[in-house]
Amino acid sequence: MSQVSAGSEVVASRRQWLSRCFWSAVALVTAGIVGPLTGYFVGPLLRRRADTRVRLGAVSDFTADRPQRVEFVLRQRDGWVTEEGRHAAWVVRRGAEILVFDPRCTHLGCAYHWHAETSQFLCPCHDGLYDLEGRVVGGPPPRPLDTYAATVEGSDLLVVPTPRRRG
Amino acid sequence: MSARRALADWFDERLGTRAINQALFARKIPGGVGWIYTLGSVSLFLFVLQAATGSFLAMNYAPTPDHAFDSVRFVTEEAPMGAIVRGLHVWGASAMVLVVALHMLRTFLTGSYKYPREATWVTGILLLLVVLGFGFTGYLLPWNEKAYWATQVGTTIAEQAPFVGPSIARVLRGGDELGAQTLTRFYALHVLLLPAVILLLVGFHLFAVVRQGISAPPTRREDLPADTTAARRTVRERYQAQKEAGASFYPYSLAKDAMAVLLVFAIVAALAWWYPPEVGDIADPTEASFNPRPEWYFLFLFQLLKYFPGYLESVAAVVLPSLAVLVLLALPFLDPRLRRHPLDRPVATGMSLAAVVALAWLTVAGARSPQVSPYVARPRQVEDGMRIARGLHCEHCHSVRGQGGLVGPDLALAKSAHDDEWMRAHFQNPQAVVPGSVMPAMGLLDSEIDGLIAYVDELRGGGPYSEQAARLTRRYCSECHRIAGRGGDKGADLSAIGDARTRSFIHRYIEDPKSLLTNSRMPAFLAPEGPLTHAQIEDIARYLAAQRSTASRGEPSGDGN
**Contact (CB<8Å) B255/A18:** yes
pLDDT band at B560 (very low <50, low <70, confident <90, very high): very low
List, in order, residues 6 or more apart from B456 with CB less than 8 Å away: B385, B411, B416, B423
Which among B418, B388, B385, B414 is positioned nearest to B399, based on CA atoms?
A: B414
A78 has a chain B CB within 8 A of its CB: no
- Whether the CB-CB separation of A124 and A132 falls below 8 Å is answered with no
Q: What is the pLDDT of residues A85-108, one digit of tens each?
A: 888 999 999 888 899 999 999 999
The pLDDT of residue B70 is above 60: yes
Question: How much is the pLDDT for A44?
Answer: 87
Cα–Cα distance, B125 to A125 (Å, whole number)? 65
Mutation pick from B59, B84, B86 vs chain A, by most beta carbons of A within 10 Å, is B84
Q: Please report, in angstroms and rounded to a whole number, the separation of the first and last CA atoms in chain B.
A: 89
User: Which of B82, B259, B265 is facing A21, going by the closest CB pair?
Assistant: B259
User: Which of A15, A28, A73 is facing B262, going by the closest CB pair?
Assistant: A28
Q: Are residues A62 and A40 in the same domain?
A: no
Which of B 12-51 lie inside 8 A of A, CB atoms? 45, 49
Cα–Cα distance, B280 to B146 (Å, whole number)? 8
Q: Please report, in angstroms and rounded to a whole number, the separation of the first and last CA atoms in chain A.
A: 82
**Contact (CB<8Å) B80/A28:** no
Q: Are residues A84 and A11 in the same domain?
A: no
* B429 vs A contacts (CB less than 8 Å): 55
Q: Are residues A37 and A62 in the same domain?
A: no
Residues paired with residue A118 on neighbouring β-strands, in sequence order: none
Domains by residue range for chain B, with CATH: 1-29 (no CATH), 31-219+247-368 (1.20.810.10), 380-459 (1.10.760.10), 468-545 (1.10.760.10)
Cα–Cα distance, B464 to B208 (Å, whole number)? 70
* Structural domain harbouring A107: 54-164
List, in order, residues 6 or more apart from B163 with CB less than 8 Å away: none
- Whether the CB-CB separation of B455 and B386 falls below 8 Å is answered with yes
C-beta neighbour count of B290 within 10 angstroms: 17
Q: Are residues A81 and A118 in the same domain?
A: yes
**Contact (CB<8Å) A40/B81:** yes
Q: What is the pLDDT of residues A7-34, one digit of tens each?
A: 778 888 899 999 999 999 999 999 999 9
Q: How much is the average pLDDT of B386-401?
A: 84
Better-scored residue on pLDDT, B528 or B74 = B74
Q: Are residues A14 and A92 in the same domain?
A: no
The pLDDT of residue B555 is above 70: no
C-beta neighbour count of B266 within 10 angstroms: 13
Q: What is the pLDDT of residues B489-534, one digit of tens each?
A: 888 888 888 777 778 788 888 988 887 777 788 888 888 888 888 8
Q: List b or e across A116-137, with b for residues whose CB sees 16 or more CB atoms inside 10 angstroms.
A: eeeebbbbeeeebbbeeebebe
Q: Are residues A69 and A37 in the same domain?
A: no
**Contact (CB<8Å) A33/B445:** no
Interface A-B, measured as beta-carbon pairs within 8 A, has a size of: 92
The pLDDT of residue B134 is above 90: yes
Q: How far is CA B153 from the centre of its chain?
A: 13
Looking at CA atoms only, how far is residue B183 from chain A in angstroms?
18
Q: Are residues A93 and A62 in the same domain?
A: yes
Which among B132, B53, B60 is positioned nearest to B98, based on CA atoms?
A: B132
B428 has a chain A CB within 8 A of its CB: no
Q: List b or e across B346-368, with b for residues whose CB sees 16 or more CB atoms inside 10 angstroms.
A: eebbeebeeeeeebeebbebbee
Q: Are residues A38 and A112 in the same domain?
A: no
A31 has a chain B CB within 8 A of its CB: no
- Per the prediction, chain B carries an average pLDDT of 88
Better-scored residue on pLDDT, B453 or B325 = B325
H or E element that contains A56 = strand A54-58
* B259 vs A contacts (CB less than 8 Å): 21, 25
Q: Are residues A39 and A10 in the same domain?
A: yes
Question: How much is the pLDDT for B556?
Answer: 39
- Whether the CB-CB separation of B430 and B440 falls below 8 Å is answered with yes
Question: Which spans in B111-179 are helix H?
Answer: 118-140, 145-159, 165-173
Q: Are residues A61 and A141 in the same domain?
A: yes
**Contact (CB<8Å) B84/A77:** no
Helix (H, G, I), strand (E, B) or coil at A136: strand
C-beta neighbour count of B294 within 10 angstroms: 22
Question: Which spans in B246-345 are helix H?
Answer: 254-274, 299-304, 313-314, 320-334
CATH number of the domain to which A130 belongs: 2.102.10.10
Question: How much is the pLDDT for B552?
Answer: 40
**Contact (CB<8Å) B60/A28:** no
Find the closest chain A residue to B260 by CA distance.
A25
Find the closest chain A residue to B264 by CA distance.
A29
Q: Are residues A22 and A101 in the same domain?
A: no
**Minimum mean pLDDT among B234-238, B341-345, B447-451: which range?**
B447-451
Q: What is the pLDDT of residues B206-258, one digit of tens each?
A: 999 999 999 999 999 888 998 999 999 999 999 999 999 999 999 999 999 99
Helix (H, G, I), strand (E, B) or coil at B451: helix
Q: How much is the average pLDDT of B461-471?
A: 79
Question: How much is the pLDDT for B355?
Answer: 94
Question: How much is the pLDDT for B561?
Answer: 33
Question: Which spans in B429-546 are helix H?
Answer: 430-433, 446-459, 468-477, 497-500, 503-511, 534-545
Looking at CA atoms only, how far is residue B391 from chain A in angstroms?
10
Q: What is the pLDDT of residues A114-125, one digit of tens each?
A: 998 999 999 999
Per cent of chain B over pLDDT 70 is 94
B224 has a chain A CB within 8 A of its CB: no
- Whether the CB-CB separation of A93 and A63 falls below 8 Å is answered with yes
Cα–Cα distance, A15 to A9 (Å, whole number)? 10
Count of domains for chain A: 2
Q: How much is the average pLDDT of B310-322?
A: 84
C-beta neighbour count of B152 within 10 angstroms: 19
Parallel, antiparallel or unpaired: strands A113-115 and A97-101: unpaired
Q: Are residues A98 and A31 in the same domain?
A: no
**Minimum mean pLDDT among B206-210, B358-362, B544-548: which range?**
B544-548
| Predicted model pTM | 0.82
Q: How much is the average pLDDT of B32-50?
A: 95
**Contact (CB<8Å) A82/B445:** yes
Question: How much is the pLDDT for A102?
Answer: 94
- Per the prediction, chain A carries an average pLDDT of 88
